[in-house]
Amino acid sequence: MLDQLTIDSFEPHVGSSFWLHWSGHKVELRLTRAARVMESEAARLKRTAFSLYFLAPLLIPQGIHHLTHDAFPDPLDIFLVPVEKKGDAYTVEAVFT
C-alpha cells in the first residue's frame, strides 16, 4: 500500500493527528507539513518523492513504526526519523521515494 501513496494522499491531512502504536502506547503525531523533494531528484524516480513531518510529544527512535489515521483504511508501517527538537516536542520525518 505504501508504494501507492503520493503527496496528494497526505496534503489534505496536514494539521490532523496520526496515531503511533509503540511500546504499548498510543502516541499522537500531528502532521505539520507535506513537502515535495527537489525537482531534479524527483525526475529520476517513478513517483514524485515527498517528505512528511510530524510533531511528536516524545523522542521516537528511528525505525519502522505502525501509524493509523481515520482517512486510511489500513495501518501504515512508516520509517520515521527524528530530525529536530522544538521545545518539549520533536519533529519526526518520513521520506517517500
- Whether 89 shows a pLDDT value over 70: the answer reads yes
Say what the pLDDT of residue 45 is: 59
The pTM (predicted TM-score) of the whole model is 0.76
- What mean pLDDT is predicted for residues 1-14? 87
pLDDT one-digit tens code per residue, 23-80: 888 999 999 999 887 655 555 656 678 899 999 999 999 999 999 999 999 999 999 9
Say what the pLDDT of residue 4 is: 81
- Tell me whether residue 25 is exposed, middle or buried, using C-beta atoms within 10 angstroms of its C-beta: 0 to 12, 13 to 18, 19 or more: exposed
